[in-house]
Structure 1
Amino acid sequence: MAREIPQPDAATLAACRHVAPLLVGGELAVDAEWAWNYTAALVAALDRRYRTEGHDADWRELIDEIMRLRGEPDAVPPPASVAAVDHAENRLGRTLPEDFRAFLGVCDGLRADVVFPRLLGVAELRPSAETGVSGPGIVLSDPPVLTLWPSNEVTEDDALFGRSVHPGIRSVLEEHLRLLEAST
């Protein structure tokens, strides 16, 4: 498919395991300006797709490290109360997954940064249908790009990379940490 598109987008190239041989072999003719504009996006997409390592930090360490790399080590919101989490579950009509409850036990939401949306506090969680997303999901962010599904997976909708599926909120935050580490 990539061969048939004169200047394929990064998502198309990222879907192909054999991009490098195509580029080296001249089968994908690209001009220098296009290559410059898409190199970083392609590397990020391939890294995201084929990454296997994870972080071993506990929740507090994970959040603290994210905030340290953001330059806001003292800006961690207080944890959500058990009563607030129970109230949200009653309001939403479903039990929140353990990893999300663990996150809320460390901080009730998280401020946005330049590349990461604001994670909603427990009182702000709402059904995805309220934002126009069909299905039984729960919106986790503002803007509503992160959605928690009954499978406990979290989808992340990105204008450049499309939809990514994470096994849970911890995976989303580990990805954010990894990107912060790569940017320093």
Structure 2
Amino acid sequence: MSDDAYPTAPAMTPEEKRAELREKVEAAEARNEQRSLAEQAKVAQQTATDFVKAHPLATVAGALVVGATIAAIVPGPGRRLRKKAAKRGSALAGALAELGIAYGAQLLDNATQAARIGQDRLEDIGDTIGDNARSARREAGYLAGEASDTARVLKREASKKANRIARKVHERLTH
């Protein structure tokens, strides 16, 4: 196929690119203005929660790195201030680690509770299936009895008719 089969859009000039980018920025600013601060905080909180749920170990490790970095970077005259900063950084890292562990424990508790709920639902489903199977068995037994009764009645009626026809044929032949 030739290159003419797929026409390409003319290349944008730098002015057109800037105008398009400016329009996108203005549209984003308008969307942000329409959102309330509470909505933005809620979105940020949900995003952070989703990340921590998806990557709990990475979150704890990151918190430890941030704490150690803060402890190492905090300037101060003399050794005493560095020790205080190191202690504060270590305390911060420890607090963040405890937070991560607590969050992991909460996730584990939630998973355990979800498993219990799943077991309960499976038990309920099993009970329902068992009840329906017993009901179907009773219904099948009833229908089989009805069919048997109907077959007996039809057999008896067919036998009567056959005997009457045979008697009539015999009477005609003998008379």
TM-score, normalised by the number of residues in structure 2:
0.21
| Structure with the higher fraction of residues in helix conformation | 2
| Structure with the higher fraction of residues in strand conformation | 1
